[in-house]
Structure 1
Amino acid sequence: MNRWSTTLILLIISIYAKAQSVSGRVEEAGTSAPLAGVSIRLLPGSLGTVTDENGRYRLNARPGSYRLLVSALGYRTRESRIDIRAGETLDVRLEPTAITLNQHTVVTTTRTETGEFARPEVTSVLTATELRRRAPRTVPEALFGLPGVWLQKTNHGGGSPFVRGLTGQQTLLLVDGIRLNNATFRSGPNQYLNTIDPQSVERIEVVRSSGSVGYGSDAIGGVVNVLTRTPQFSEKKGFTGRAFGKVASAGMEYSSRAEAGYQSATLAVTGGLAYRKFGDLLAGRGLGFERPTGYTQLSGDIKARARLGSRYVATAAYQDLEQDRVPVFHKVQLENFQYNQFDPQRRQLAYARLEGFYGSPWLESVQVTASWQRQIEGRQSRKNGTPTEVQERDQTATSGLTLLARSQPATFWQIQTGVELYADRVSSVRRDVNVQTGAGVDKRGLYPDGATMNSLAAFQLHTLTFQKLTLTAGGRYNAYEITIPEKTLGEATVRPSALVGNAGVSYAVIPAVRLVASVQSAFRAPNVDDMGTLGIVDFRYEVPNNSLKPERSLNKEAGVKIRTNRFSAAVLGYHNALTNFISRVRAGRDSIQGYPVYLKHNSSEAFIRGLETDVEWEAGRNWLVYGNLNYTYGQNVTAAEPFRRIPPLNGRAGVTYQKSAYWLRAETLLAAKQDRLAKGDKDDNRIPKGGTPGWQIVNLSGGYRWRSLTVSAELHNLTNEAYRTHGSGVDGVGRSAWIAVEIGL
């Protein structure tokens, strides 16, 4: 670490520059009314503030050229170029709008702020406004109906996003840009995204294409980046606070969260505590309560930011969430278990981040992030008619260090350079206990105890922006060392590596229409779950294999983006070729403990192709009509059968009426029947014989905002449709209602 420390110190040493300021007033176009609470950001960087009750703002910054980004709920985002040399004044007028598609500034595609419309990639964005209005029960459920995203729920305490037909190990999950995926991430659906408190989230970005160049292994289908609430600096010192409460019908949810914070020109802090109690799920017509599915959740988080002079901003954050007694419903219902549950299901994340802003063409800014994360998964199960309780506990601790440097050697050329280091260590134990006598026997855990996975990567992303043309390109080299200390098979160490690249183009035929295309290679290094699993997983018994190689993919996509004052759309087609894909094959033995025995091999070549459409139309003043439709087709070429768990044709459509004080929405979500099944799907007891039936649900929602008070409510599944999202182990929620109240202090 001495060499790392010396390098970082050299990178952030520079001459202190005297700060200047930019100030002004933000008004509503047409009425000249001052707008309070408008977000003001200087890009690149993290300097920001909000307007006061008179619509005024003031920001201190070192001299240089910036982009001033001005955004607010219900208004079109404005971006202006400004050169800060002395005290500058810039007044801004915002135009009201209901359109959000193609309007966002996103961070996930290039790991820095950039406008999404001009990029070749397509990003689905869930904003703070939508999160407040929808008040989601969990983070996975917040993604339900998002363009290009499908949601599978093995249990009520889970939720795994499918991005372009891939999930689990092939979809990368991030929290504030830090990897959530680790050495024991399971193949197929998992519950890890549910270990984030939804009320701590500020926005969610889903990059619907390969992301291996920017983020490394696992980003074959796409990247889901959950960005938590960030405290803002303010010229006016003061304390802040927020209280949230939500209740759902039939006792299905009782949620609460309290926040407190402090803000000034140089220090901003916010922290929160949340408690949630979820009752058993009430499904649709004829299904009734699905017991057991309820559980409890306790979480806390804190984030602090400090300005260290005019050049540096430091951030420190800690998150801790624990879920207790989370039942796996389909195990109890279909596999003769008296009980089968996760207890606890816990995630802890701590990170420190230092950002330095230099203004040099070859070193505009530097960001260094050190992180530590621990995921704990306890499992207890007992079958009917047996006295033995199986107690398992897996723990994965991850340390990370990331260095990002941003350069702009020319006005049209931006470069993002990065170095990443991650180190995982796995602890896994199991004990079989006779509940009648209390006697116990220690056995090998699901994973080899003491297994490790280390990775080191370097990458670079380039963006060339001309009047009508945007070109992107990048590359990454990633090296891994994975050690499996298996007692029966002997210790094994493998050192896979990968070199991946991407290139994209976005061309403005006219200012409102852009043609986009890109090609991206991606990879997934085999992890400890792949190489060392021994035990019951889903409906099979898995045995280890330490000779696996990285999975590979090549994704090609093309489409069109449209953005006018009253209409926005995105249409994209893609084809993702998968090679060396890791799949389960029968291991020759008939069964162990009544389960068929499987082994993982690099045995498959496959492809997934699809078409995604997303439309928003401002049909009249205050009226927004929107919809999306997603088609996915997957084929396992090697096995000459459909690719596993491919989502059915699905979509969402709705209409929203909104004014500054209130909003109303009618929405329908639908999915076609999925009867195109792989053999693994047919063997999966969560999927009905003959496939998953199609379904359609209708929801009505609305809300009112007065000063610092927001009330939102929803009538869900009005027709009480009995439905299940394809591959899930629980059914969808039946006719129900919820109401949520948020008060700012």
Structure 2
Amino acid sequence: MYRYLFVAFFLITTYGIAQQISIVDADSGEVISNVAIFNKEKSKVALSNLEGNFDASIFTFKERITLKHIGYQEYKTTKLQLQRQGNKVFLLVNAQQLDEVVMSVSKWEQQKRDIPNKIISLDSRSIDFSSPQTSADLLENSGKVFVQKSQLGGGSPMIRGFATNRLLLSVDGVRMNNAIFRGGNIQNVISIDPYTIKNTEVIFGPGSVIYGSDAIGGVMNFYTNKPILSQNDSLLVQGNGNYRFSSANSENTIHADVTLGRKKLSSLTSLTYNNFKDLRMGSNGPSSYLRNSFVKTVNGVDELIENSSPKLQVTTGYGQINFMQKFLIKPNSKWDLNLGAYYSETSDYSRYDRLIRPTSDGLGLRSAEWYYGPQKWFMGNAQIQKKGNGKFYDGLKLGFAYQHFEESRINRNFQDEIRNTTTEKVDALNMNIDLENKKIGNFRLYYGSEYIFNKVRSNGFDFNIVTSEEMRSASRYPDGSTWQSLAGYVNGEYKAKPNFTIMSGLRYSHVWVDAVFDDAFYDFPFKTADLSTGALTGSLGISWFPRANLQITLNGSTGFRAPNIDDVGKIFDSEPGSVVVPNPNLEPEYAYNTEIGVQRNINDKIILKGAAYYTYLVDALVRRDFSYNGVYEIEYGGELSNVQAIQNAAKAYVYGFEFGIEAYLNEQWSVTSNVTITDGVEEEEDGTDTPARHAAPTFGDFHLIWKNQRLRTDFFINYNGEIDNNNLAMSEKSKEYIYALDENGNPYAPSWYTLNFRSQINVTNRLKATASLENITDQRYRTYSSGIVAPGRNVILGIGYHF
């Protein structure tokens, strides 16, 4: 009798379990919520919950059922077939997601099809598959953003001919750009842990209406993972563990995160550790790129040592640690409170391009030491969101964020006893209010205000490596200087017709800069810098679908960048024989941009994309020769140096074309390709033209992808065009040591290509493995303006476990 009861209990239990069907993404394995499940007559309907599950008990075993989601291909099956598949459904992403939701343009969810700006969105699926080493590599892997590197611990994006402090970087809606973001290449993007990124949205072109100063060439928004609430009374526990290895720099990366969730409170904890050794370059390319010698200090004496392995770039290795802690509190359906703490710290890491600078006679190396101290970034972020029922809004967001940045530069010339160190610390406070109003028929209004305060601490000292004597020296910036901004904006979206949308916006920003200059080391002709500047920016654009499969966008916008502490008060050696001095007489620079985009969907099989743009920059803040106390040369670091300063001394224009294709040959095979062409010119006050420094060479990629429910492979080609000597920016021509030499002995940037292969397999529903082989033909190349040579043939292995 007990035996029959046990069998009956087992059958009933098994039947009950079998009714729960899981729906997951075929590529990423992530669960999919809000999938509609219905029979042919639609008399029976179910909806998958936040955990991707639905109860199939309402359907009979042989009844034909359909699974439908806006972002995925429709799937038809039976409950009997689902049980044979292990009660799991794998859905494939739609070839074209015109209804994809993006947040970058207004800080609120909008349909991508209604936005006139060009935006790319990199979701967790594509990030996980590309397995980037840093967030700079994440952007580069998109094939649409060019990235320059002066050292292994770096990555400076270039977008539409602009870079560094003319691009805006934000994390979870908080701008990372601070008062000492410089015109030279920066590496702050590597502080963002790629293992924590849920999706990245990149706006191409000015974004100053929403983001204010610096958003001239584009905006890069990184949105990190959020805590997940439990859908029942039990504690939700889930997490991930990852390991990554790359052979080119003997990388070892370990990551772990865990989410603990209740119905109204959830926590997410994430930790990542990276260790990178010296980077090895490829075998086939210019011999001038080889690291033939390096400086080694033995018993306090600098010696020039022959490198026994010239393809090894000594010294480039470094380490990094990233930590993130988030809490989500949801007391009811209207209110959300998100709290976050982010921390990143690197070890010391060499600025490789400074370590390979030759002496004037070309027989030795100029620097014995040149490295950055630990780059540290901390952010505490609190965001409050309310939905609906406000008198003047349907959505309200309040944001409060504090950030602390710390960086330092340490350098010593060959056989010099004095090591110079400058240390900079910035405390940044951001406060914003953003509102959304959807109550005005076909018109949606977004408006808000923002206040930013930055305070800079800067000091310098010299250390004698022989006597151990330490003494104060000139700081890089005026210590105690401040940068403030107060702004208000309004942005509107009007759907004139179902196929025609107009977007327009205005923003006014006011910026204050206050600095007091220390004359202990330099006889400045001024004591203070007290700038108060305002800027009005706007945008107007349309998105039009003349046919359901054809989209045309047209957009005009302005952007601006107000002078910051780096522009106004910096003193440093920009290059051998030149020194940059402060200049308090600066005004904002303005950009005027127009662009047109076309997108064509051919039978949901082929998608063609194209865009053309033109940007004109006036009152450009550029580094030029300068008179300091009536002289054009001063002694700096023991060397007579040409005096330069940041000045509103130029105009510039940049134009370009961007092309893309996505072809879905069948359920397994697809092809994607992108090409970007950029050109630009800086116009000097005397009427002469010079090539723009941050206009990247023509670059592109081609991907041949095969996938099924368990395995995904990608054979791809990356390509960069040549920049000959005539088209090389003047500031780049003086850096012969990072460029190849043409037949006339002049520096130029050669073209290059790489062949690459990556793959990812779902070993089980919880275990995933990746294997890649990059630069298969072992090319030796430098990306344009980069100091470090790119990796040679590189094996990348990774494993990830989800629980």
Q: Would you call these one fold, judging by a TM-score over 0.5?
A: yes
Q: Which stretch shows the higher mean deviation, 679-688 or 602-611?
A: 679-688
User: Residues 280, 148 of structure 1: CA spacing in aligned structure 2 closer, same or farther, 3 A cutoff?
Assistant: same
1:696 alignment partner, one of 749, 753, 766: 753
1:507 matched residue in structure 2: 544
2:510 matched residue in structure 1: 479
1:7 matched residue in structure 2: none
Residues 201-216 of structure 1: pairs in structure 2 closer than 5 A: 201-216=197-212
2:137 matched residue in structure 1: 141
2:702 alignment partner, one of 630, 634, 653: 653
User: Residues 102, 77 of structure 1: CA spacing in aligned structure 2 closer, same or farther, 3 A cutoff?
Assistant: farther
1:582 matched residue in structure 2: 621
Q: CA deviation at 1:104?
A: 3.2
1:438 alignment partner, one of 457, 468, 475: 468
- SS of the residue corresponding to residue 518 of structure 1 reads strand
1:348 matched residue in structure 2: 378
Mapped to 2, the partners of 1:586 and 1:506 lie a distance apart of 45
1:363 matched residue in structure 2: 393
Mapped to 2, the partners of 1:320 and 1:211 lie a distance apart of 27
- SS of the residue corresponding to residue 186 of structure 2 reads coil
- SS of the residue corresponding to residue 126 of structure 2 reads helix
Q: Is the 8 A contact 2:113 2:543 kept in 1?
A: no
Q: CA deviation at 1:55?
A: 7.0
**1:667 paired to 2:690:** no
Q: Which stretch shows the higher mean deviation, 559-568 or 310-319?
A: 559-568
**1:741 paired to 2:799:** yes
Q: Which is greater in Rg? A: 2
Q: CA deviation at 1:434?
A: 0.4
User: Residues 102, 141 of structure 1: CA spacing in aligned structure 2 closer, same or farther, 3 A cutoff?
Assistant: farther
2:302 matched residue in structure 1: none
Q: Is the 8 A contact 1:312 1:355 kept in 2?
A: yes
- Once the two structures are superposed, residues 578-613 of structure 1 have per-residue CA deviations (whole angstroms, 9 ceiling, x without a partner) of 000011111252463444331111011110000011
Residues 202-601 of structure 1: pairs in structure 2 closer than 5 A: 202-236=198-232, 237-285=235-283, 287=290, 288-335=311-358, 336-359=366-389, 362-465=392-495, 466-488=497-519, 489-539=526-576, 540-563=578-601, 564-588=603-627, 589-590=632-633, 592-593=636-637, 594=639, 595-601=641-647
Q: CA deviation at 1:566?
A: 1.9
Q: Which stretch shows the higher mean deviation, 523-532 or 480-489?
A: 480-489
Q: CA deviation at 1:382?
A: 1.6
Mapped to 2, the partners of 1:544 and 1:497 lie a distance apart of 21
Mapped to 1, the partners of 2:90 and 2:554 lie a distance apart of 32
Q: Is the 8 A contact 2:33 2:52 kept in 1?
A: no
- SS of the residue corresponding to residue 127 of structure 2 reads helix
Residues 716-731 of structure 1: pairs in structure 2 closer than 5 A: 716-731=774-789
Q: CA deviation at 1:513?
A: 0.6
Q: CA deviation at 1:76?
A: 4.7
Mapped to 2, the partners of 1:533 and 1:71 lie a distance apart of 52
1:732 matched residue in structure 2: 790
Q: Which stretch shows the higher mean deviation, 603-612 or 487-496?
A: 487-496
Amino acid of the structure 2 residue aligned with 1:338: A
Q: CA deviation at 1:684?
A: 3.1
**1:615 paired to 2:661:** yes
Mapped to 2, the partners of 1:295 and 1:179 lie a distance apart of 26
- SS of the residue corresponding to residue 496 of structure 1 reads strand
1:19 matched residue in structure 2: none
User: Residues 158, 507 of structure 1: CA spacing in aligned structure 2 closer, same or farther, 3 A cutoff?
Assistant: same
Q: Which stretch shows the higher mean deviation, 245-254 or 473-482?
A: 245-254
Q: CA deviation at 1:569?
A: 2.7
User: Residues 327, 121 of structure 1: CA spacing in aligned structure 2 closer, same or farther, 3 A cutoff?
Assistant: same
Q: CA deviation at 1:115?
A: 2.0
- SS of the residue corresponding to residue 436 of structure 1 reads coil
Q: Is the 8 A contact 2:21 2:53 kept in 1?
A: no
Mapped to 1, the partners of 2:324 and 2:415 lie a distance apart of 43
Q: Which stretch shows the higher mean deviation, 124-133 or 512-521?
A: 124-133
Mapped to 2, the partners of 1:519 and 1:185 lie a distance apart of 27
- Once the two structures are superposed, residues 229-258 of structure 1 have per-residue CA deviations (whole angstroms, 9 ceiling, x without a partner) of 112223043211211111111553100011
Amino acid of the structure 1 residue aligned with 2:582: P
Q: Is the 8 A contact 2:118 2:597 kept in 1?
A: no
**1:37 paired to 2:31:** yes
Q: Is the 8 A contact 1:36 1:54 kept in 2?
A: no
Q: Is the 8 A contact 2:248 2:793 kept in 1?
A: no
Q: Is the 8 A contact 2:539 2:555 kept in 1?
A: yes
Amino acid of the structure 2 residue aligned with 1:572: A
- Give the alignment's Cα RMSD to 1 decimal: 2.5
Mapped to 2, the partners of 1:103 and 1:702 lie a distance apart of 29
Residues 124-163 of structure 1: pairs in structure 2 closer than 5 A: 124-163=120-159
Q: CA deviation at 1:567?
A: 2.2
- Once the two structures are superposed, residues 705-725 of structure 1 have per-residue CA deviations (whole angstroms, 9 ceiling, x without a partner) of 121211112101001011111
Structure 2: unaligned runs, 5 residues or longer: 1-19, 37-47, 57-67, 76-88, 285-289, 291-310, 359-365, 520-525, 741-745
1:51 matched residue in structure 2: 51
Q: Is the 8 A contact 2:529 2:568 kept in 1?
A: no
- SS of the residue corresponding to residue 374 of structure 2 reads strand
Amino acid of the structure 2 residue aligned with 1:255: T
Q: CA deviation at 1:122?
A: 1.0
Mapped to 1, the partners of 2:51 and 2:141 lie a distance apart of 33
- Once the two structures are superposed, residues 417-467 of structure 1 have per-residue CA deviations (whole angstroms, 9 ceiling, x without a partner) of 111000000000110010111111112210100000010000011111231
- SS of the residue corresponding to residue 423 of structure 2 reads strand
Amino acid of the structure 2 residue aligned with 1:634: G
Mapped to 2, the partners of 1:436 and 1:332 lie a distance apart of 22
User: Residues 55, 731 of structure 1: CA spacing in aligned structure 2 closer, same or farther, 3 A cutoff?
Assistant: farther
2:301 matched residue in structure 1: none
Q: CA deviation at 1:642?
A: 1.3
Q: Is the 8 A contact 1:361 1:410 kept in 2?
A: no
Mapped to 2, the partners of 1:371 and 1:383 lie a distance apart of 40
Mapped to 1, the partners of 2:35 and 2:313 lie a distance apart of 47
Residues 64-143 of structure 1: pairs in structure 2 closer than 5 A: 75-76=72-73, 96-97=92-93, 99=95, 104-143=100-139
Q: Is the 8 A contact 1:628 1:653 kept in 2?
A: yes
Question: Across the two proteins, how many residue pairs are aligned to each other?
Answer: 686
- SS of the residue corresponding to residue 50 of structure 1 reads coil
- SS of the residue corresponding to residue 355 of structure 2 reads helix
1:625 matched residue in structure 2: 671
Q: Is the 8 A contact 1:28 1:96 kept in 2?
A: no
- SS of the residue corresponding to residue 541 of structure 1 reads strand
- SS of the residue corresponding to residue 354 of structure 2 reads helix
TM-score by length of 1: 0.88
Structure 1: unaligned runs, 5 residues or longer: 1-23, 43-47, 57-68, 79-92
Mapped to 1, the partners of 2:583 and 2:35 lie a distance apart of 50
Instruction: Provide the identity percentage.
Output: 23
Q: CA deviation at 1:645?
A: 3.0
Amino acid of the structure 1 residue aligned with 2:333: S
1:184 matched residue in structure 2: 180
Q: Is the 8 A contact 2:229 2:236 kept in 1?
A: no
Q: CA deviation at 1:649?
A: 0.7
Q: Is the 8 A contact 2:24 2:52 kept in 1?
A: no
Mapped to 2, the partners of 1:102 and 1:699 lie a distance apart of 30
Mapped to 2, the partners of 1:324 and 1:306 lie a distance apart of 35
Amino acid of the structure 1 residue aligned with 2:120: S
